[in-house]
């Protein structure tokens, strides 16, 4: 748009100057020559160069299952040099399975499970689905993002989540986390810890391809998770992520992002939970999973409706192709107008032929942009993806 504004201004000045010159040389031809100049140099192709390419690319991404909710995503992807990943529900499937329960007090496993399920049933986090349903009802439930849940079940106030958060309710020392692999959550009340719960998750089948694409582009990769278990390090090691940090609260993640911005980094954030919302909102480009919470989706610049990470690999490639097509369109429009202007000024082109040339130029730009609707090797969008177990 800025280029078209300057070009239009220069075209009008040139038309006025040439018109005055022809008025002095041959007044009978002055009007038609000026008209031919204005038609020939109409900045239609120049103005269509960018929006046609972006529109075609946006439609292709939607077919792949990536919905753009803000207009700067395709251009911004070409500037990214750092990627931040969440773990649960993002790099992993998020379909956690409760593997075992280890009571720590007088209550049995079934009783602890019922109490935990009462709290988790009030949560939208992927972890909640692993606990199933219970006839017990929890009240006054509130979430501390990155830490856990607190609420009342009957007259009993409970917490579930990170050990330090849970034990703060009873002002007791947090028990040591078991050494076994998995995601460990502690349940406790005002008297102390009640039980450990260990959950298993599965790594997305297409996560390695996404990390490989990031590495191929020379991007720095970080894994920031609220999970404090050894699973964070295991996932990072399996995928070759440069840096991994666990047990982070939302403000901790935001501080990491702010430091990256201070270092001059352009950051892409991929997440799905409430604890990712501050980073999703503040990142240069953000992508929320299709299975993400509503708040995460509304905070992100795009939503991966298909939940397939390989669609992002296609998006990276398409962003570069879109930039090349935009440059090609702009160069073609500039070349056409640059050649037509002197011919029209010399009186070699009539207004009719100028209109034909202008139409052909605009059509050429549109046809070039339509190449972006075809993406070789594009994956088929799907609501689910194959998974594989996390490394022990």
Encode 211-280 in three state secondary structure: HHHHHHCCCEEEEECCCCCCHHHHHHHHHCCCEEECCCCHHHHHHHHHHHHHCCCCEEEEECCHHHHHHH
Instruction: Tell whether the model's pLDDT for residue 255 goes beyond 90.
Output: yes
272 counts as catalytic: no
Instruction: Tell whether the model's pLDDT for residue 348 goes beyond 90.
Output: no
For 366, the token pair is: 């549109």
Which has more confidence, 194 or 182? Answer: 194
Distance (Å, rounded) from C-alpha 87 to C-alpha 244? Answer: 10
Instruction: Tell whether the model's pLDDT for residue 43 goes beyond 80.
Output: no
Across 243-247, 289-293, 342-346, 357-361, least confident range = 342-346
Ranges of CATH 3.40.50.1000 domains, the chain: 66-92+204-223+249-305
Half-sphere exposure of 86 (CA within 13 A, CB side): 32
State how far Cα 26 lies from the chain centre. Answer: 61
Q: pLDDT above 90 covers what percent of the chain?
A: 41
Ranges of CATH 3.40.1110.10 domains, the chain: 97-200
Which CATH number is correct for 97-200, 3.40.50.720, 2.160.20.10, 3.40.50.300, 3.40.1110.10?
3.40.1110.10
Give the pLDDT score at 293: 83
pLDDT band at 188 (very low <50, low <70, confident <90, very high): very high
1, 26, 81, 86: which is the annotated catalytic residue? 86
Distance (Å, rounded) from C-alpha 370 to C-alpha 35? Answer: 31
Neighbours of 338 (CB within 10 A): 11
Which has more confidence, 85 or 382? Answer: 85
pLDDT band at 1 (very low <50, low <70, confident <90, very high): low
Residue 92: name the closest of 282, 270, 295 by CA. Answer: 270
User: For the residues 1-12, what does the mean pLDDT come to?
Assistant: 74
Residue 304: name the closest of 203, 207, 235, 208 by CA. Answer: 207
Sequence-ordered alpha helix ranges (H) in the chain: 2-25, 27-40, 44-64, 73-76, 109-120, 163-170, 207-216, 231-239, 250-262, 277-282, 294-299, 310-345, 351-369
At the second CATH level, the architecture of 66-92+204-223+249-305 is: 3-Layer(aba) Sandwich (3.40)
Give the pLDDT score at 79: 93
Mean pLDDT (the chain) is 85
pLDDT band at 378 (very low <50, low <70, confident <90, very high): very low
């Amino acid at each position: 748009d800025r280029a078209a504004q300057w070009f239009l201004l220069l075209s009008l000045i040139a038309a006025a100057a040439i018109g005055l010159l022809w008025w002095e040389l041959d007044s009978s031809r002055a009007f038609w020559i000026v008209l031919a100049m204005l038609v020939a140099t109409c900045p239609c192709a120049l103005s269509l160069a960018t929006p046609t390419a972006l529109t075609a690319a946006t439609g292709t991404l939607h077919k792949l299952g990536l919905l753009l909710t803000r207009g700067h995503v395709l251009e911004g992807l070409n500037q990214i040099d750092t990627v931040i990943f969440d773990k649960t529900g993002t790099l992993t499937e998020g379909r956690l399975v409760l593997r075992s329960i280890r009571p720590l007090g007088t209550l049995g496993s079934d009783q602890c499970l019922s109490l935990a399920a009462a709290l988790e049933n009030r949560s939208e986090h992927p972890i909640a689905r692993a606990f199933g349903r219970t006839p017990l009802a929890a009240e006054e439930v509130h979430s501390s993002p990155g830490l856990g849940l607190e609420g009342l079940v009957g007259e009993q106030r409970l917490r579930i989540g990170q050990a330090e958060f849970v034990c703060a309710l009873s002002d007791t020392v947090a028990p040591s986390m078991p050494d076994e692999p998995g995601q460990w959550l502690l349940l406790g009340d005002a008297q102390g810890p009640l039980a450990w719960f260990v959950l298993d998750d599965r790594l997305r089948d297409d996560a390695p391809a996404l990390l490989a694409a990031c590495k191929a582009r020379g991007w720095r990769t970080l894994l920031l998770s609220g999970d404090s278990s050894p699973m964070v390090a295991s996932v990072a090691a399996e995928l070759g992520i440069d840096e991994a940090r666990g047990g982070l609260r939302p403000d901790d993640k935001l501080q990491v992002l702010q430091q990256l911005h201070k270092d001059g980094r352009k950051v892409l954030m991929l997440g799905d939970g409430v604890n990712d919302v501050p980073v999703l909102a503040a990142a240069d480009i953000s992508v929320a999973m299709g299975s993400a919470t509503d708040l995460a989706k509304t905070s992100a610049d795009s939503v991966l409706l298909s939940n397939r990470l390989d669609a992002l690999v296609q998006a990276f490639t398409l962003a570069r192709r879109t930039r090349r097509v935009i440059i090609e369109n702009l160069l073609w429009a500039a070349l056409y107008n640059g050649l037509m202007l002197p011919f029209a000024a010399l009186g070699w082109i009539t207004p009719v032929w100028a209109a034909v040339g202008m139409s052909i130029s605009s059509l050429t730009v549109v046809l070039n942009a339509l190449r972006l609707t075809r993406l070789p090797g594009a994956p088929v969008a799907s609501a689910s993806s194959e998974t594989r177990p996390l490394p022990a």
